[in-house]
Structure 1
Amino acid sequence: MTDRPAPIRLDQCLTQLVAARAAAQGGVVRRRTCAIGQIVGNERFLAKLDRRGFRAVENAGRTVVFCNRAPVRVLR
C-alpha cells in the first residue's frame, strides 16, 4: 500500500500554480488536466486564468499555461 499525500485545498492549488517560478517570470507551467478538474474544477481554474490574463492549451492529458498576456499561436 502506498502513502498518498494529504489532500490539497482548492485555494492552495491555485496559489501554487500562479506562485510557481515560471509563472512569476512570465513563463510556462504544465499540469495534468485531470488533476485540475478533480482538485480545483475547470471553471474555477479558467476564471483564475482570466483574472490574470493568462492563456492555456490542452494536449494529451496535460494543460499548459502561458503565464503572460502575450498571444498564443499554434504552429502545427
Structure 2
Amino acid sequence: MQALSRQNSPEFWISQIFSAKAVQKGAVIRRSMAWIDREVGRDRFIGEVRRRGFRLVQTADQFIVICHSGSISIVF
C-alpha cells in the first residue's frame, strides 16, 4: 500500500487557502485536520492563521477559520 504524499509544497497550499475569495470577503474557510497535517502541517497552519489576525475553531476533525479579526461569540 502506497502512502499518501504531498502534491504541492506547504507554501503553495498556504497561498491557495488564504487567497480564496472567502478569505478576502471576511467569510470562513474549513479544512479537515488530516488534510492540514498532511499538506501544510498543523503548526504552520495555526501560525499563519494567527499571523493574519484571524480566529481558528476546531470542531470534530475540522478546522474552521473565521477570516476577520473582529469579535465572535458562540450563540448556541
Runs of 4+ residues over 3 Å off in structure 1: none
Contiguous gaps of at least 5 residues in structure 1:
none
* Within-5 A mapping of 1:23-34: 23-34=23-34
- State the superposition RMSD in angstroms: 1.6
Matching residue of 2:38: 38
Runs of 5+ unmatched residues, structure 2? none
Q: Which moved more, 1:45-54 or 1:66-75?
A: 66-75
Quote the residue 1:20 is aligned against.
20
Q: How many residues align?
A: 72
Counterpart of 1:7 in structure 2 is 7
User: Could you state the TM-score of these two structures normalised by the residue count of structure 2?
Assistant: 0.84
